[in-house]
Amino acid sequence: MLCPKCSSDELKVLETRAGKVASTRRRRECLSCNHRFSTIEEVLREDLVVVKRDGRRESFDRTKLAMGLRKSIAKRPIDAEQINGLLSETLRRIENEFDSEVPSRVIAEAIMQRLRKVDGIAWLRYASFYEDFRDLSRFAVEIVNLGGGGKGVKGGN
């Protein structure tokens, strides 16, 4: 672990506590520059393989999933803790349901299901890629659903 400010590896843990979703949160201080920051630790499964739409298989990469999610929430009123919780909750569900291989579609649907409850616009951005809208009419229907009748959708008005 390196200090995000000065890259020193001289760190001290100030506080440790259980996170919200099967994680450990630590408050740290750099002994070189006195910068304080928090880290979240989770157990990662390294044997999980994602089966893509075309049949290819690749190792699961939480960072790749987080980057896609961050693109969808750009400039939206969603804080990092909400996103980390959404990711952790989704991954825990997937790991409980699948032993070693999980279809990419299952991951996308699990993320979309949770994201829709958090922010409708972010959900639409994410869904526009993963739902593979083939024409504008289906996309328009989803926009109308968000604006008028989307149940429990925040940010839809």
pLDDT in the model for residue 127: 81
The C-alpha atoms of residue 154 and residue 157 are separated, in whole angstroms, by 8
- Same domain assignment for residues 31 and 93: no
Pairing of strands 49-51, 36-41: unpaired
Average pLDDT over residues 40-59: 83
Query: Both 77 and 39 in a single domain?
Result: no
CA 6 to chain centre: 27
Same domain, 39 and 61: no
Picking from 109, 82, 98, the residue whose alpha carbon sits closest to that of residue 20 is 82
Q: For 41, which DSSP code?
A: E
For residue 74, give both structure tokens: 């750009």
Q: Would you say residue 56 lies in a domain?
A: yes
Non-local (6+) Cβ contacts of 9 within 8 A are: 1, 2, 3
Q: Alpha carbon of 127 to those of 15, 37, 139: distances in Å?
A: 39, 33, 9
Q: What is the percentage of the chain residues whose pLDDT exceeds 70?
A: 80
- For residue 133, the model assigns a pLDDT of 60
pLDDT confidence band for 155 (50 / 70 / 90): very low
Query: What total number of domains does the chain contain?
Result: 2
> What does the alpha-carbon distance between residue 125 and residue 23 come to, in Å, rounded to a whole number?
28
Single pTM value for the model: 0.60
Residue 157 lies in a domain: no
Q: List, as one string, the DSSP characters of 93-149.
A: HHHHH-SSEEEHHHHHHHHHHHHHHH-HHHHHHHHHHHTT--SHHHHHHHHHIIIII
**Do residue 63 and residue 26 come from a single domain?**
no
Average pLDDT, the chain: 82
**pLDDT of 99:** 83
Residue 24's pLDDT is 84
> Same structural domain for residues 91 and 30?
no
67-125: per-residue pLDDT in tens?
888 888 888 898 877 888 888 888 888 888 888 899 998 998 899 888 888 888 888 88
Q: Does one domain contain both 65 and 101?
A: yes
Q: 101 and 28, same structural domain?
A: no
Name the residue range of residue 122's domain.
46-149
CA distance 132 to 105: 11
Handedness of CA 139, 143, 149, 153 (dihedral sign): positive
Tell me whether residue 72 is in a domain: yes
pLDDT at 1: 87
Please indicate, yes or no, if residue 154 is contained in any of the structural domains.
Answer: no
Do residues 63 and 121 share a domain? yes
